[in-house]
Structure 1
Amino acid sequence: MSTDQPSPGSGEPPEHDPFLKKPQGPPEEGAPSSSSPSGGGTGGGGGGAPGGTPGGAQPPGGEPPPGGAPPPRYEGGPYGGSPYADNPYGGEYGAADPLAGMPPLANRGRRLVARIIDIIIIGVPVTLIMNVIVGGADYTSGSPTETGKQATVSGVTMLVYLVYEGLMLTNRGQTVGKMAMKIRVGMLANGAVPAGQAGWIRAAVYTLPEIVPCCGPIFWLVNVLWCTWDKPYQQCVHDKAAKTVVVSTA
């Protein structure tokens, strides 16, 4: 009587013997997995990522693959790349410099000379006129009367200087001293003239604290020296308050 099953002595091991059954290795590359319920992925090509995602395709959501290269660093500007390397706006990568396309920053020495010119133009005449009006202030005397005269002269001089600088900045971004030194004030965002509030804020932060006794002169000194260590835009405190920057016009 014949049988379809091989006998134990026919040279083929019985399938129920666990000691003689050869272990199965991993499936060959590209072969569909027998455990996959879709039988090799019905929605994508063979060799794709688990879940039916085609091989090499970007994961859903538009996010770059992990470990991908970062976006290129900004290299714009008309002066051979951005002249302000440590730009704090927008992070390390892909941040366009707000000053790209604008003239270079003004030299600190020219800014100082421009300020001296303005002080001479406004301060000297107003002080002389006020000394005539109040009858002359004796700066060597410590009497209350002379101290009051000094305060009046200084206060009026600062207010006149505030009006002068505010009007000049909001109309053309330059005072007489800045025109002489070929520099100007522009908005940090786009280089425009600081018309309106920005120009008056800049003039007020520079001028008004000087009227305050004792701490006013200290603030003024810190304010004007701030541009010597400020990076990358060389702003004084009044520049930061108004969000302006001083650039060259020549």
Structure 2
Amino acid sequence: MAPLATPAQRFQARLIDTLVLGFIWVVMLAATGALRYGLDHPGEQDTAKVLISAALTFTLYFAYEGAMLANSGQTLGKKALRIRVAKLADGDVPGRQGWVRGAVYALPGIASPVAVGTIFWLVNSVWQLRDRPYRQSLHDKAAKTVVVSALY
């Protein structure tokens, strides 16, 4: 198997993918009318529209992450950092396990984007720093995947 990706590479890749998430979020706020409402009523928000936007955002982000990982093992962020997700068992492209990994990462945001999602993502991200020998985050453990260099 290729060498493991460093925590710094994984963090930088996730920052790029967070830009994708932010783009989807803005599009969903606009599509549901939540953005217009906030602009027309400064300091207020239409909670129902914001919650619908959040559910749609994290569902679409799950589709993005799941499809990209299942097909190539790389999201846009991972491509930029030249790392990829691989099956722990044999180093192959994750296939179906990419969808599991994407679900465990993205779907907690639907439960409650601020509380549940944020706490989970913090714990999930820090987990790889103490995990040995594979530096797996919780979504890697659930999917039985690792993040490795794509240069090999």
TM-score range, shorter chain: 0.7 to 0.9
CA distance in 2, matches of 1:125, 1:238: 23
Q: Which has the higher helix share?
A: 2
CA distance in 2, matches of 1:234, 1:117: 20
> Corresponding residue for 2:61?
161
Cα deviation digits, residues 31-81 of structure 1 (max 9, x gap): xxxxxxxxxxxxxxxxxxxxxxxxxxxxxxxxxxxxxxxxxxxxxxxxxxx
> Corresponding residue for 2:105?
206
CA distance in 2, matches of 1:215, 1:247: 28
Cα deviation digits, residues 128-183 of structure 1 (max 9, x gap): 22222222154953xxx622222122211111111011111111111111011000
Q: Does the residue aligned with 2:46 lie in a helix, a strand or coil? A: helix
Q: Is the 8 A contact 1:169 1:185 kept in 2?
A: yes
Kindly report structure 1 stretches of 4+ aligned residues shifted beyond 3 Å. 137-141
Cα deviation digits, residues 53-110 of structure 1 (max 9, x gap): xxxxxxxxxxxxxxxxxxxxxxxxxxxxxxxxxxxxxxxxxxxxxxxxx111101111
Structure-2 change in CA distance of 1:128 and 1:210 (3 Å) = closer
> Corresponding residue for 2:133?
232
Q: Does the residue aligned with 1:186 lie in a helix, a strand or coil? A: strand
Higher RCO structure (Cα 8 Å, ≥6 apart):
2
Q: So what's the TM-score if we normalise by structure 2?
A: 0.86
> Corresponding residue for 2:31?
133
Instruction: Mark the structure with the bigger radius of gyration.
Output: 1
> Corresponding residue for 2:2?
103
CA distance in 1, matches of 2:68, 2:101: 12
* AA matched with 1:235: Q
CA distance in 2, matches of 1:172, 1:161: 16
Count of aligned residue pairs for this structure pair: 144
CA distance in 1, matches of 2:142, 2:110: 18
**Alignment RMSD (CA, Å):** 1.7
CA distance in 2, matches of 1:140, 1:206: 31
Structure-2 change in CA distance of 1:219 and 1:124 (3 Å) = closer
Gaps of 5+ in 2: none
Q: Is the 8 A contact 1:210 1:220 kept in 2?
A: no
What are the residue-to-residue correspondences of 1:161-200 with 2, within 5 Å?
A: 161-196=61-96, 198-200=97-99
Q: So what's the TM-score if we normalise by structure 1?
A: 0.54
